[in-house]
Amino acid sequence: MVATHDADVLKQTPAKGSSEVAWFCVRSHNKHEHIAAAYLRRCAMIEVFFPRIRLRRACKHGSFWMTEALFPNYLFARFDRGLVAQVHYAPGVSGVVHFGVLWPAIPDQIINDLRQRVGGEQVFVFSSDLRLGDQVQITAGVLRGLSAVVTRVMTGHERVRVLMDFLGRQTSVELHRDSVIKNDLISVLC
């Protein structure tokens, strides 16, 4: 994305006569995706696709459910190319993704595929249903990023035992169940 000054955006905005309704990628200010999405939907009457994920996170006081943007600082909006300047200056919006004077449109099929994967509510919920033999990735602690296989699920303690290759040998480790994610969930989002 090429950074431009506000005046440059107005100069580069397509002429009013050029009409093309399409999906565009909109960059929001940090942690303001929901503000940008709400404004574009309500005030500008623009169709918005703002996919999010809902997952349990572990902290020192226990675990909690958290919802966050699937693509941090980005959302998708469907509007006429002539409205680029209006979208660019919307509250919560940092700009419409562009490369020089080119604002690339996103094919409808890509948005439709994302919608199918995420669901109608635009929130993909990570399930913590773990079974023996599940391939997982560790998402917290010093072992973060390593792969393992579930060997025991301890439901009463919210813990799992996993087997992993560590320092050249197989090691069994007990982790909080919120510290691992199934590999097939990772592939759904990638």
Per-domain boundaries in the chain: 6-125, 135-189
Per CATH, is 135-189 categorized as 3.30.9.10? no
Structure confidence by residue, pLDDT tens digits, 120-158 = 777 777 666 788 888 888 887 778 888 899 998 887 667
Distance of alpha carbon 170 from alpha carbon 187, whole angstroms: 25
Strand 123-125 relative to strand 52-59: parallel, antiparallel, unpaired? parallel
Topology annotation, domain 6-125: Alpha-Beta Plaits (3.30.70)
Continuous segment of H or E residues that includes residue 110: helix 108-118
Considering only residues 33 and 129, tell me which one the structure prediction assigns the higher pLDDT.
33
- pLDDT recorded at residue 9: 42
Structure confidence by residue, pLDDT tens digits, 68-88 = 888 999 999 999 999 999 999
Read out DSSP for 114-172? HHHHH-TTSEEEPP----TT-EEEE-SSTTTT-EEEEEEEEGGGTEEEEEEEETTEEEE
Which residues are 159's β-sheet partners? Answer: 154, 176
- pLDDT recorded at residue 4: 44
- The tokens for 151 are 């060997």
- pLDDT recorded at residue 182: 78
pTM above 0.75, yes or no: no
